[in-house]
Amino acid sequence: MNDELQHQLADLQTQVAFQEDTIEQLNQALADQQLQIDRITFQLKHVTHRVKQIEPSNIADPSEEAPPPHY
């Protein structure tokens, strides 16, 4: 029975080591994805700001206005 317990203990230790490695890999992937999301969010805000600056105003500049028809 002692040999079987040793074998089971070794199996459990192997599983725990594998799970710890998997958790670390998943944690790193999650951290990388969060950095990517942060960069994309920053770029989206920057592009949105730039588009708003480029977007023409619906109100014409007074110098561009045509004179009224009675002139």
Three-class secondary structure assignment of the chain: CHHHHHHHHHHHHHHHHHHHHHHHHHHHHHHHHHHHHHHHHHHHHHHHHHHHHHCCCCCCCHHHCCCCCCC
Asked if pLDDT for residue 71 goes beyond 60, the answer is: no
Asked if pLDDT for residue 68 goes beyond 90, the answer is: no
Q: What is the pTM of this model?
A: 0.61
Read off the pLDDT of each residue in 12-30 and give the average, rounded to a whole number: 98
